[in-house]
């Protein structure tokens, strides 16, 4: 499932330790979350993935492609659970996201 991202804003962000394990600076990650044209929705799949997750694919401010996964919390925050340089497996989705209008 895909949804457009323009104007999507969160009341804050929380980070898991796994979101930090690839050494991505928060500013790079937030740039992708806040400027992504589309969001790919990964449905919940209990019991291993009890929450719907959002996949953001986009470029950081230096033009480097990054993948970010987050979960929208009931209080309006986004809980960032994964962030790293984009892997080749996401290339087709990344190209699709770039075609969407801003």
Domain boundaries, the chain: 2-99
- Alpha helices by DSSP H, 2-62: 17-20, 26-35
Q: What is the pLDDT of residue 102?
A: 64
Q: Are 86 and 94 in contact (CB under 8 A)?
A: yes
Q: Residue 7 pLDDT more than 70? A: no
Q: What percent of the chain has a predicted confidence (pLDDT) above 90? A: 47
Tens digit of each residue's pLDDT (9 = 90 or more) over 26-48: 999 999 998 887 788 888 887 67
Q: What is the pLDDT of residue 51?
A: 81
Residue 73 carries which DSSP code?
-
Q: What is the pLDDT of residue 1?
A: 46
Higher-scoring residue by pLDDT: 93, 82: 82
């Amino acid at each position: 499932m895909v949804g457009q991202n323009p104007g999507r804003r969160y009341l804050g962000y929380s980070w898991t330790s796994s979101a930090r394990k690839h050494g991505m600076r928060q500013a790079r990650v937030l740039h992708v979350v806040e400027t992504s044209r589309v969001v790919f929705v990964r449905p919940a799949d209990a019991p291993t993935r009890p929450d719907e997750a959002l996949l953001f694919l986009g470029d950081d401010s230096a033009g480097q492609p990054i993948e970010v996964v987050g979960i929208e919390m009931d209080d309006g925050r986004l809980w960032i659970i994964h962030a790293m340089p984009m892997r080749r497996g996401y290339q087709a989705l990344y190209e699709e996201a770039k075609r969407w209008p801003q």
